[in-house]
Amino acid sequence: MRHVWIRSILALVWLAAALISGGALNVVLGMVFLVSAYSAWKREKNGKGED
């Protein structure tokens, strides 16, 4: 579950950087981290996680 929190925090940092700098690449990277964290969370919630 720790990696889900780390991915979520990274997503928030990227999205905050996107708001400050206005860069579209940062928005895309933030969304990638959010989707990654969400999919890992769903995988663990269904009992398919390795941890």
Which distant-in-sequence residues (6+ apart) come within 8 Å of 44 by Cβ? 1, 4, 51
pLDDT of residue 33: 83
Mean pLDDT of 18-46: 83
pLDDT of residue 48: 62
Whole-model pTM above 0.75? no
Both tokens of 32, joined, read: 């990638």
